[in-house]
Amino acid sequence: MSQSLNILDVSLRDGSHSVRHSFTVEQVRAAAKGLNAAGVRYFEVTHGDGLGGSSLQYGLSKVDELKLIEAAVEEATFSEVSVLLIPGIGTKQDLQAAASIGAKMVRVATHVTEADVAAQHIGLGRELGLKTVGFLMMAHMTPVEKIVEQAKLFESYGAEVVYVTDSAGALLPHEVTARVAALKDTLQCDIGFHAHNNLSMALANTIAAIEAGANYIDGSLRALGAGAGNTQTEVMVAVLEKLGYQTGIDLYKLMDVANEVIAPLMQQPQEISGSSLVLGYAGVYSSFLLHAQKAAQQFGVDERDILMELGQRKTVGGQEDLIYEVAQQLVKA
Amino acid sequence: MSQSLNILDVSLRDGSHSVRHSFTVEQVRAAAKGLNAAGVRYFEVTHGDGLGGSSLQYGLSKVDELKLIEAAVEEATFSEVSVLLIPGIGTKQDLQAAASIGAKMVRVATHVTEADVAAQHIGLGRELGLKTVGFLMMAHMTPVEKIVEQAKLFESYGAEVVYVTDSAGALLPHEVTARVAALKDTLQCDIGFHAHNNLSMALANTIAAIEAGANYIDGSLRALGAGAGNTQTEVMVAVLEKLGYQTGIDLYKLMDVANEVIAPLMQQPQEISGSSLVLGYAGVYSSFLLHAQKAAQQFGVDERDILMELGQRKTVGGQEDLIYEVAQQLVKA
């Protein structure tokens, strides 16, 4: 079994969605201190939508993310702090600013078919001496060949790790295995996997990814994250230990930060609710949910039928007009 | 793929633990009506600890379970109502009473090594014309050969289905596969599987069980159940559909009862909290938790070390004195 699993905790980035971008310096400091003490190699601190995400469109951050990153870096004597960058939301200047205050890793995230927009950002990450990662979001939406092609692009730009990112929590283990194994066969760089739990398969998918060769693995304490949340880091570490993997993490210390720092700041439980299940089942962007609900009311159809149809059509962000068109067509049908 | 999966919903029985046995006739009627409309073949209505469980020791029921069973039976025009019976807690008279008001299935539950206490109860179930099931609890605690031996006993008494019951949520998929496959190889009767989600593997384990030949599968709406809850029925049905299984269940109607009936009555979210994770990781009875916490405080040791040691020793219910002994030994060590 692999002795070199790199666990990356995203509580302070994907979790930002779940707390509506309300993290304070004190909260980040306490979580960072705990993750560092537990021996977590990497953790990520950024607005949920990455550097520069604080906006009316994506949700305003209570505290400037650079202040949060700075606090995290101060606590991270062992761990290294990662930042997420989505080209089009964050800029190269944002990345330079994060690196200048001590971020050590950047994950450049694009839609699974759009790696080509990230060439310059990957290049800059390498120039700045950061560990530089490509992050292919909504990885369920394309066949295996397409994700291999896009991952190769990331590698050609200089990415040291490429992630299969199941943003909608829509993948099942055999689909994860197919994607990760294909990347492992084709790429020289390391492979990562990021899960969401909308179909209750986040940890099972994560284990499938590790068995297929992924060695960068995301988790979130108490599953704090968008939708139904992520793979729950402390549960993952417990299960990986039972399976004989060495994570280098002190499980009790990790449980302590989950229960004493993260649990008290949660604004709602990370359950699989009606909405998160439908999003995972349909395989659509979580930002479509409110539109689908409005359209359902306006046209008197079931929001689930709208979301399923959007999933069938592989609708992507920016195509929100389609939601109303689909609702209208459902009425006629 | 199997075309004959029997889904059994335990929201109104295992869920009784989660709501501290406070189900009302109105709640049971609404849930039963929804489960029936969705086409769920079986659902279970009993105190969390089975017939006769209402007591100071196991928790007093707000409403007499026979009244709840009666209400469920009235709504179940398609579904059949199951009751749980743990010999030593419930009696043969309790079972006769449940059958006389329309229960159609009994699941006789014992510790995984104690099927022999259930011979008469299985026999009575058959006499009463009920679908009669053996339910081997804490199935992680014994090697495969032992569970095969105990399942054979159940079958010899007349059980038509024998369940592998992961009461502590401690099993991993390969362990589920080993157990179910061994029973499938050895027994003529049908095989069932009941999961808990303490290690976030309930649904993955359930899929492993189905792939190994189980065709009776438990779930709970919104995961309502003891510990971290059960396999979430509506999520399971969505995922089984994606995998190509026919469940005969109307997914949207099932989601509706989950979200409109069960979600509003929940007293706490079914998250994997600190306690439920430790119980699954250690593989011990949930009733040990409070004792372990008391002993930890009394002796100044970590409750997790106590629980892990109890798991190592394969401690079973009734051995609560050992908890304090273990705490004392941890101080000396």
Nearest chain B alpha carbon to A256 = B274
The answer, for A25 touching chain B at a CB cutoff of 8 Å, is: no
Q: What is the mean pLDDT of residues A70-89?
A: 98
* Residue ranges of E strands in chain A: 6-9, 42-44, 80-85, 105-111, 131-137, 161-165, 190-194, 216-219
Do B246 and B121 lie in one domain? The reply is yes
Count the neighbouring beta carbons within 10 Å of the beta carbon of residue A235.
29
Tokens of A332: 């006629």
Q: Does A255 touch chain B (CB under 8 A)?
A: yes
Taking 60 as the threshold, does the pLDDT of residue B195 lie above it?
yes
Residue A297 sits in the same domain as residue A248: no
Q: How confident is the model at residue A1 (pLDDT cuts 50, 70, 90)?
A: very low
Local confidence band at A333 (pLDDT 50, 70, 90 cut-offs): confident
- Are residues B221 and B307 part of one domain? no
Digit-coded pLDDT (tens) for A195-252 = 999 999 999 999 999 999 999 999 999 999 999 999 999 999 999 999 999 899 999 9
- Confidence class of residue A2 from pLDDT cuts 50, 70 and 90? very low
* Partner A contacted by B202 (CB < 8 A): yes
Instruction: Say if B275 falls within a structural domain.
Output: no
Q: B326, exposed or middle or buried, with CB in 10 Å at 0-12, 13-18, 19+?
A: buried
Domain containing residue B297: 284-332
Of B207, B223, B258, the CB nearest to A274: B258
Pair (B293, B182) in one structural domain:
no
User: What percentage of chain B exceeds 70 in pLDDT?
Assistant: 99
Residue B2 has pLDDT above 50, yes or no: no
- In this structure, the answer to whether residues A109 and A182 fall within a common structural domain is yes
Q: Tell whether B244 is covered by a domain.
A: yes
pLDDT confidence band for B1 (50 / 70 / 90): very low
Q: What CATH number has the domain bearing residue A147?
A: 3.20.20.70
Q: H/E/C letters for each residue in A174-225?
A: HHHHHHHHHHHHHCCCEEEEECECCCCCHHHHHHHHHHCCCCEEEEEHHHCC
Instruction: Verify that A179 and A300 share a domain, yes or no.
Output: no
Kindly report, residue by residue over A92-135, the tens digit of the pLDDT. 999 999 999 999 999 999 999 999 999 999 999 999 999 999 99
On whether residue A279 sits in a domain, the answer given is no
In the DSSP assignment, the letter for residue B220 is B
Q: What are phi and psi of B82, to 5 degrees?
A: -100, 150
Kindly state the average pLDDT of the residues A251-257.
97
Residue B113, domain member (yes or no): yes
Residues A184 and A66 in one domain: yes
> Residue B55: which pLDDT band, with cuts at 50, 70 and 90?
very high
B174 assigned to active site = no
A253 and A296 fall within a common domain: no
Contacts of A255 in chain B (CB under 8 A): 274, 277-278, 304
Average pLDDT over residues B324-332: 94
Q: Which two tokens stand for residue A314?
A: 């592989």
Other CB atoms closer than 10 Å to residue A155's CB: what's the count?
20
Task: Say how many CB pairs under 8 Å bridge A and B.
Answer: 97
B252 and B288 together in one domain: no
Cα–Cα distance for residue pair B79/B72, rounded to 1 Å: 10
Closest CA to A81 of A89, A72, A90: A72
Q: Which of B271, B276, B312 to mutate to test the interface with A (most CBs of A within 10 A)?
A: B271
Q: Is the pLDDT of residue B332 over 50?
A: yes
Binding site per annotation, positions of A for substrate: 13-14, 167, 194, 285
Indicate the helix (H) or strand (E) that contains B84: strand B80-85
Q: Is the domain of B180 the same as that of B92? A: yes
Of the pLDDT bands very low, low, confident and very high (cuts 50, 70, 90), residue A319 is confident
Count of structural domains, chain A: 2
Q: A200 and B239: CB-CB below 8 Å?
A: yes
Q: Are residues A171 and A312 in the same domain?
A: no
Q: Is A172 within 8 Å of chain B by CB?
A: yes
pLDDT band at A184 (very low <50, low <70, confident <90, very high): very high
pLDDT tens readout for residues A19-72: 999 999 999 999 999 999 999 999 999 999 999 999 998 999 999 999 999 999
| B256 Cα distance to chain centroid | 23
Partnered with residue B123 across adjacent β-strands are none
Q: Examine residue A1 and state whether it is found in any structural domain, yes or no.
A: no
pLDDT digits (tens, 9 = 90+) for B285-310: 888 888 899 999 999 999 999 999 99
Annotated active-site residue in B17, B21, B47, B140: B17
Q: What's the rounded Cα separation, in Å, for the pair A87 and A110?
A: 7
Longest dimension (CA), chain B: 61
Pairing of strands B80-85, B105-111: parallel
CATH number at A327 reads 1.10.8.60
Residues A258 and A323 in one domain: no
**Mean local confidence (pLDDT), B262-267:** 97
- Residue linked to tokens 């051995």: B319
Percent of chain B with pLDDT over 90: 92
A272 occurs within a structural domain: no
